[in-house]
Chain A
Amino acid sequence: MNAIETHDLTRYYGDLCAVNHLSLSVDHEVFALLGPNGSGKTTTVLMLTTMLRPTEGTATVCGHDTVRDGELVRRSLSYVPQDMAVDIKLTGRENALLFARLYGVTAPKDRVDELLAVMQLSDRADELVKVYSGGMRRRLELVQALVHEPEVLFLDEPTLGLDVAARATIWEHITALKKGGMTIFVTTHYMDEADRFCDRVGIISRGMLLALGSPPDLKARLGNDVITAHIDGTFRDPGVDGIMLFAFASDEASFLAENGREALPVLADAFTRAGIKVRALALREPTLDDVFLHTVGTPEEPAGFDQTKFRTMLRRRR
């Protein structure tokens, strides 16, 4: 039995399909759901945490159906929403104690003390949350979520709006929790974090799961090398066989090539012939950012970049 299983999970808001036949299984790992704004990440999390009824399909958490056994599901999970919700009129300790009591934890005071210490909040615990920084509030939310030792933890954009150090701290805690055997489901926009700290990622766009795997796997599947070109003036694809344009944003175009070293001069030539001014060309290994852009497409392009269609289009143009 996997900690989280979904089968054709679907949710419509009126006519809008926010999540489209999502099938996933997640178990004893840090799993990240990645996707552009409005792709259905929060909707997925809300369905898994029994806050929203699926239009179609099923989901189980720790073997319990999210619709039929809501209470058993809620017993095994904790949920930290995307928009921070800690009570600014209460102290950190009061915030945490409220949740410990609502969860029916035995010895709530001790449990809260222990967790406040783990999250480095002990010395500020009796101040009102009003004076807490964003990072402290996030850690307090983790304290609230962890009071009852959940088997599965859902974090909707846990590092949103935090500085680099605070983000690193949050991820340290997440990694430690996973080592303790917890299953952690996060959503994030930060590819570098997903790459470094998550065991597997799923990329969704417009509610559809387009890629699924470990970051190294996904990067390897993209293959080869990435060439980025900084363009002056107007840009159009020079159209070289075997060198595929997969992203273009502001003045930077990204290409995929089998062999980057050999492709570099070819591409440079093609640019010159096409009369496009290039300020710089760089060769690098693919990152998760590249995987993401390749999968969901740049904003100007339709989602789900179709590689073969693109190739045919290129050939036709020449």
Chain B
Amino acid sequence: MRGVVWYIERDFLRWVRGRVAVFSALVMPAAWLIFVGLALPIRFTDNYLDFITPGILVMTMLSAGLSGGTLLMFDKILGFLNKFLALPSPREDILFGKILFVSLRGLIQATIILVIAVLIGASVYSPLQYGLTYLILFLFGVLLSAFATTLALYLEDHDSFAAVNTMISMPLFFTSSALMPYSVMPGWLRVIAMANPLSYAIDAIRAVNAGALPVAQIASLMILGVVVTAVSVQVFRRVTV
């Protein structure tokens, strides 16, 4: 498992050196937070910012997780993956390193979004509540990055990966409970939103903020994460002999 640490360190160095990318990933969720969270005239709650912040945090993890697949895609295209595969250290370390790095990077980005939210007026919660929020975001990040890396292993080139990426990320967000509660959704949207894994994470964070412990949602995220990671490992073993 030592290899995982070195793979994560490598990706981390590469990430912080691409300075523009570090900030550009934050622009979208920050803009949502400010322009939608503060500006939208909403009637179902008197603090829409508090309502939408969990959704934006999960959105940050969503795009961080999905774009994490490009890291593996480029390692594959540029020949790094082949060089790593020729090493005696366990090959799965490459995959676990990727999934962990992408999830941790998502958490760092989510932290910045959370700070912005508090600065512009979102409520402050207890350390325990934040701890649970991070746990939920991490589980969701693992689920997403495992999914994205599997996709990157399957697809041949970066273009098709980017295409799939944009194709699923926006619809996933809009069909979740990020923007409105189930009570104000039209019936058809409610059905989709309740099945959407984004909603599990968003609802779980809202429950935590309301003082509850969302065992069911956390358990579902955990089970989904384990299943998708297992699939990813299988695909990885298959494509690498």
Interface residues of A (CB under 8 A from B): 49-53, 70-71, 74-75, 77-79, 81, 83-85, 87, 89-90, 94, 98-99, 101-104, 128, 144
Please determine whether A85 and B17 come into contact, CB atoms closer than 8 angstroms: no
Chain B residue at minimum C-beta to C-beta distance from A76: B88
Q: Which residues of B have CB within 8 Å of A75?
A: 88
CA distance A197 to B18 in the complex (A): 42
Shortest CB-to-CB span from A87 to chain B, Å, is 7
CA distance A30 to B6 in the complex (A): 33
Please determine whether B88 and A90 come into contact, CB atoms closer than 8 angstroms: no
Chain A residue at minimum C-beta to C-beta distance from B81: A85
Most buried by B among A71, A128, A144: A71
Shortest CB-to-CB span from B73 to chain A, Å, is 14
B43 at the interface (CB under 8 A from A): no
Query: B88's contact among A74, A98, A144, by CB below 8 Å, is which?
Result: A74
Interface residues of B (CB under 8 A from A): 2-3, 6-7, 9-10, 13-14, 17-18, 78-80, 82-89, 240-241
CA distance A194 to B168 in the complex (A): 52
CA distance A50 to B84 in the complex (A): 12
* A87 and B86 contact, Cβ closer than 8 Å, known pairs A53-B241, A101-B6, A104-B2: no
Q: Which residues of A have CB within 8 Å of B10?
A: 87, 90, 94, 98
Q: Which residues of B have CB within 8 Å of A53?
A: 241
Query: B79's contact among A85, A98, A104, by CB below 8 Å, is which?
Result: A85
Shortest CB-to-CB span from B149 to chain A, Å, is 19
Shortest CB-to-CB span from B83 to chain A, Å, is 5
* A85 and B14 contact, Cβ closer than 8 Å, known pairs A102-B6, A103-B88: no
Q: Which residues of B have CB within 8 Å of A74?
A: 86-88
Query: B13's contact among A83, A85, A94, by CB below 8 Å, is which?
Result: A94
Query: B85's contact among A51, A94, A99, by CB below 8 Å, is which?
Result: A51
CA distance A90 to B6 in the complex (A): 13
CA distance A103 to B2 in the complex (A): 10
Please determine whether A103 and B17 come into contact, CB atoms closer than 8 angstroms: no
Please determine whether B88 and A81 come into contact, CB atoms closer than 8 angstroms: no
Please determine whether A87 and B79 come into contact, CB atoms closer than 8 angstroms: no
Please determine whether A89 and B17 come into contact, CB atoms closer than 8 angstroms: yes
Please determine whether A85 and B78 come into contact, CB atoms closer than 8 angstroms: yes
Q: Which residues of A have CB within 8 Å of B86?
A: 49-51, 74, 77-79
Please determine whether B88 and A85 come into contact, CB atoms closer than 8 angstroms: no
CA distance A239 to B18 in the complex (A): 66
Chain B residue at minimum C-beta to C-beta distance from A144: B83
Please determine whether A83 and B79 come into contact, CB atoms closer than 8 angstroms: yes
28 A-B pairs in the complex with CB atoms less than 8 angstroms apart: A49-B86, A50-B85, A50-B86, A51-B82, A51-B240, A70-B241, A71-B88, A75-B88, A77-B86, A78-B86, A79-B82, A79-B83, A81-B79, A81-B82, A85-B79, A85-B83, A87-B80, A89-B13, A89-B17, A89-B18, A90-B10, A90-B14, A94-B10, A98-B6, A101-B2, A102-B87, A103-B88, A104-B88
Query: B87's contact among A52, A89, A103, by CB below 8 Å, is which?
Result: A103
Chain A residue at minimum C-beta to C-beta distance from B16: A89
Most buried by A among B7, B87, B88: B88
CA distance A79 to B3 in the complex (A): 18
Q: Which residues of B have CB within 8 Å of A85?
A: 78-80, 82-83
Chain A residue at minimum C-beta to C-beta distance from B87: A102
Chain A residue at minimum C-beta to C-beta distance from B241: A53
Shortest CB-to-CB span from A103 to chain B, Å, is 7
Query: A50's contact among B3, B14, B89, B241, by CB below 8 Å, is which?
Result: B241
* A87 and B6 contact, Cβ closer than 8 Å, known pairs A50-B86, A50-B241: no
Chain A residue at minimum C-beta to C-beta distance from B18: A89
